[in-house]
A = this chain, B = another copy of it.
């Protein structure tokens, strides 16, 4: 397998870490790949943190990587807006990390909701009704809707918790408008951004992740190899029942090097 792939597209939550805890052997596996000259990109549907925040977290866990090796949906949303809608002002429904990442890409913030060309929605764990209403007013005044990702739930500290889909639903049901763009995996946008970082053709790349629709789906659609890890949201039975059949099923990222 290692001979077949020069580039590795690696998911974060459920693949490299769970919450604040590194998955056993992840460090060794990832540094092992680097030592063999493999190229890595970390590709995550997290849109509520910035690349800087994520890099800080990963280096804090002992991973020796560069910020440019991280692509979050906040990052790719920033790239998308900078390339396709330069200078257009956005309103954010979500956490500060998204604002930081959009600022890093030179995306201007609208001074008030009514002046935004785009509403960008991401996870917001401290949302208020007032903030929902500001987002509502942006759309009522003509802003298009971009969601960093469409995930329904994530495993939170107090059990399964509402993910970005909850914020999208609040706006979609009250305005009658669905998102124009959903940036997150398994989108072509995320696959293309990952391949651009790696600088390799898709068939030389392997996606490693715990989500069948997001990670394995993205890999299949983009023509990459796919490896499901069982340290997150999916079981071996899920894989057997899924429309997306991974090329490999690994107990964890730890065994990546030993294949």
Contacts and interface: CB of A to CB of B under 8 A. Distances in A.
Nearest to A125: B129
A20 to B, nearest CB: 20
A53 interface: no
Which of A136, A152, A162, A172 has the most C-beta atoms of chain B within 10 angstroms of its own C-beta?
A162
Contacts of A126: 129
B129 A153 contact: no
In the assembly, how many copies of this chain are there? 2
Contacts of A137: 159-160
A169 B173 contact: yes
Interface in A121-141: 124-129, 132-133, 136-137, 140
B173 A158 contact: no
Nearest to A167: B170
A210 interface: no
Contacts of A132: 162, 166
A174 interface: yes
Contact of A129 (B124, B140, B159, B171): B124
Interface in A162-184: 162-163, 165-176
18 contacts: A125-B129, A126-B129, A132-B162, A132-B166, A133-B158, A133-B162, A136-B161, A140-B160, A152-B173, A152-B176, A162-B170, A165-B173, A165-B174, A168-B173, A169-B170, A169-B171, A169-B173, A169-B174
Interface of A: 124-129, 132-133, 136-137, 140, 152-153, 156, 158-163, 165-176
